[in-house]
Chain A
Amino acid sequence: MKLDHIRHGVGALWDSVAEGWDRLRQTTAGALTRYRPGDKASLPTADEVDDASYIPSASWAMLGGDVFEDERRIIVRLEAPGMNKSDFDIQVQGDALVVRGEKRFERENTDGRWRVLQCAYGSFLRTVPLPAAVKDAESRATYRNGVLKVELTKLMPGKPSVTQITVH
């Protein structure tokens, strides 16, 4: 029994170290997004969760984001699992794409104990800088398998612009 305790401790430590490292390598700082639960969110309180690191008022998640472009189009891909299509609010503001959303906490069983609660719930905002100006009227968004994909058409078709800056 004692050995089991030790093994579990080592396993948990290894997992958290590997998780931090994996996550860091996977993403850049921009992917770290704050989720704020709304007033109506029925998130469990801290004493219903065994996870010592759980804080009900706010949580953070890595929303992996990618921007792809060719001569005509820009495609923004954002990982946001567990959303309803209608809970996205997507806007083009100047040279940035602003994605707002709310991930609701909807669980059928409430009489149990939460052993682990790592997923983030609530409202989030993510601003993605766009590499070129876009035509507002020709934007299209789809949501599949927990990934939001926004297709935008460039105002001025052309190759990705690069400005060389000399260091003096």
Chain B
Amino acid sequence: MTNQVVKQTGNDESRNEPALLPPVDVIEDATGITVYADLPGVPRDRLNVRVEGDTLLIDADLVLSVPQDMQASHAEVQRTHYRRAFTLSRELDPDKVGAELSQGVLRVHIPKAEHAQPRRIAVEVA
């Protein structure tokens, strides 16, 4: 379990209200980890990505852009809040988190701290 860079947590204390758990892709490479999350219907100003201690938190609200006076004849979307939390390992640098949102897909990149990055050591032939 030592090579586990990002862990999912239940995070029960923040679950006071029911929320949707968005599906995610997580890739780890030499420079850090990148998380992709599907958040359809979320505008940029209703997205909140933050790091609290060693936890990466994604909170978002989807906005139904439909006139209020229309009658729903079929509705599958009933909840409008997304939440997902990840525990970050110590080798990641939480001060350098970058996030972007495009067509309902959030991309969060967290680089590894410099001391955890792979280094090339030159060997001189004597």
Contact = CB atoms under 8 A, between A and B. Distances in A.
Interface of A: 1, 4-5, 8, 10-12, 14-15, 18-19, 22-23, 25-28, 30-31, 61, 64-70, 73, 75, 77, 79-83, 107, 109, 111-120, 128-129, 131, 143-147, 149, 160
Contacts of A128: 74
Contact of B66 (A14, A26, A77): A77
Contact of A83 (B33, B64, B103): B103
A109 B8 contact: no
Contacts of B27: 107, 109, 112-115
Interface on chain A toward B: helix, strand, loop, or mixed SS?
A: mixed
21 contacts: A5-B1, A18-B15, A19-B21, A26-B78, A27-B76, A27-B77, A28-B76, A30-B76, A64-B77, A67-B72, A67-B74, A69-B73, A79-B40, A81-B104, A109-B34, A111-B29, A113-B28, A114-B25, A114-B26, A115-B28, A131-B74
Interface residues of B, number: 51
Given A61-B23, A64-B77, A145-B43, A70 B69 contact: yes
Given A11-B8, A79-B104, A65 B76 contact: yes
A22 to B, nearest CB: 6
Interface on chain B toward A: helix, strand, loop, or mixed SS?
A: loop
B56 interface: no
B79 interface: yes
Contact of A75 (B26, B66, B76): B66
A108 B103 CA distance: 17
Highest count of chain A CB atoms <10 Å: which of B6, B29, B75, B77:
B77
A88 to B, nearest CB: 12
B1 A31 contact: no
A145 B104 contact: yes
B23 A119 contact: yes
Contacts of A23: 20-21
Highest count of chain B CB atoms <10 Å: which of A11, A65, A128, A160:
A11
A13 B64 CA distance: 31
B25 A66 contact: no
A119 B36 contact: yes
A16 B65 CA distance: 30
